[in-house]
């Protein structure tokens, strides 16, 4: 799968993401500056973590209006794959490509620590190297990861199987129904708060995030 990483000013986990993608696919992802508008040839567009435009406004709100976003919308409409992690997830919700919003963490503090995620379904292009119901370790590093949507939306997400991951154990950031990541209705757009890309090497403490990138590389 040919992958590209979108870089908005203030994004800071693009290098981590590039390492994880390349490690699984053997191919360097294309780095895409936010003012570019041509995503042709890409199967997967990744929006990594960071603080786009400083997140001085609502997290992701500025980036969601960057020139590249029209191309990302078109990519989604074409049925292209999109992965948004952390700030990338926030940007996808701000852009309307995923439902809900990410609020300040419940304790109103930045959270940088390991967390456990439960795989809600293992039949998507992102999760087919995991087992349904499996728990895996990931790293969270965010101040605004408290997933919020109204009850009707949450019911719909659960009913349609669009919840990708939930926090197992303590729901530290206070997310509604412990939701850590969600899919678009066609299961081709995934947003999640924790960083699978930071656990792809045993030296960094584990490889629990690697199956996600292996699955994408094989797709």
Partner 1 sequence: MERDVNQALAREFGLNAEEYNRVLEIMGRTPSFTELGVFSVMWSEHCSYKSSRVWLKQLPTKAPWVIHGPGENAGVVAIGDGLAAIFKMESHNHPSFIEPYQGAATGVGGILRDVFTMGARPIANLNALRFGSPDNARTRRIVDGVVRGIGGYGNCVGVPTVGGEINFHPAYDGNPLVNAMTVGIAPTDRIFLSAAAGIGNPVVYVGSKTGRDGIHGATMASAEFDANSEEKRPTVQVGDPFTEKLLIEACLELMATDAIVAIQDMGAAGLTSSSVEMAGKGGVGIELNLDNVPARETGMTAYEFMLSESQERMLMVLKPEREAVARAIFEKWDLDFSIIGYITDTGRITVRHQGEIKADIPLAPLNDQAPLYTRPTVETPKQEQLNAARIEDRLGLTAGLRKLLACPDLCSRAWVWDQYDSTVGGQTVKRPGAADAAVVKLEGLKRALALTTDCTPRYCLADPEMGGMQAVAEAWRNLTAVGARPLAITDNMNFGNPEKPEIMGQFAAAIRGMAAACEALDFPVVSGNVSLYNETEGKGILPTPAIGGLGVLEDAAQAVGYGLPSWLDIVVIGKTQGWLGQSLWLREINGREDGAPPPVDLAVERANGDFVRSRILSGEIRACHDVSDGGLLVAVAEMAMASGVGARLSAHPRDVPGHAYWFGEDQGRYVVAVPDAASFIRTSEAAGVPAVRIGVSGGGDLTLPDGGTISIETLRADHAGFFPAWMNGDNRS
How are beta strands 81-85 and 30-33 bridged, if at all? unpaired
Q: Which stretch binds partner 1 (CB under 8 A): 63-71, 119-127, 151-159, 195-203?
A: 195-203
d(Cα 140, Cα 196) in Å, to the nearest integer? Answer: 9
| Near partner 1 by CB under 8 A: residue from 5, 53, 97, 157 | 53
205 binds partner 1 (CB under 8 A): yes
Closest-CA residue to 83 (of 98, 102, 101): 98
Closest-CA residue to 194 (of 179, 177, 204): 179
Closest-CA residue to 63 (of 101, 94, 32): 94
174 binds partner 1 (CB under 8 A): no
Closest-CA residue to 6 (of 124, 164, 38, 209): 38
d(Cα 153, Cα 110) in Å, to the nearest integer? Answer: 26
Q: Which stretch binds partner 1 (CB under 8 A): 50-58, 71-79, 148-156, 178-186?
A: 50-58
| Near partner 1 by CB under 8 A: residue from 2, 15, 65, 132 | 15
28 binds partner 1 (CB under 8 A): no
* Binding map of partner 1 across residues 141-160, x = CB under 8 A, - = no contact: x-x-----------------
Residue 86 annotated to the active site: yes
Q: Which stretch binds partner 1 (CB under 8 A): 38-46, 48-56, 70-78, 154-162?
A: 48-56
């Amino acid at each position: 799968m040919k992958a590209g990483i979108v870089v908005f000013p203030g994004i800071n986990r693009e290098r981590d993401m590039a390492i994880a993608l390349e490690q699984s696919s053997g191919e360097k992802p294309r780095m895409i500056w936010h003012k570019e508008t041509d995503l042709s040839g890409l199967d997967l567009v990744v929006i990594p973590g960071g603080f786009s435009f400083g997140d001085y406004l609502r997290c992701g709100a500025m980036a969601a209006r960057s020139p590249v976003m029209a191309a990302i919308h078109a990519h989604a409409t074409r049925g292209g794959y999109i992965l948004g992690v952390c700030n990338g997830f926030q940007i996808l919700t701000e852009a309307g490509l995923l439902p809900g919003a990410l609020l300040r963490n419940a304790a109103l503090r930045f959270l940088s620590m390991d967390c456990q995620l439960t795989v809600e379904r293992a039949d998507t292009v992102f999760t087919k190297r995991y087992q349904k119901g499996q728990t895996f370790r990931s790293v969270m590093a965010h101040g605004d990861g408290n997933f919020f949507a109204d009850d009707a939306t949450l019911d719909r997400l659960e009913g349609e199987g669009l919840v990708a991951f939930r926090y197992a154990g303590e729901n530290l950031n206070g997310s509604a129904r412990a939701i850590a990541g969600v899919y678009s209705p066609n299961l081709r757009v995934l947003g999640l708060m924790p960083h699978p890309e930071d656990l792809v090497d045993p030296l960094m403490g584990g490889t629990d995030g690697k199956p996600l990138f292996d699955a994408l590389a094989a797709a």
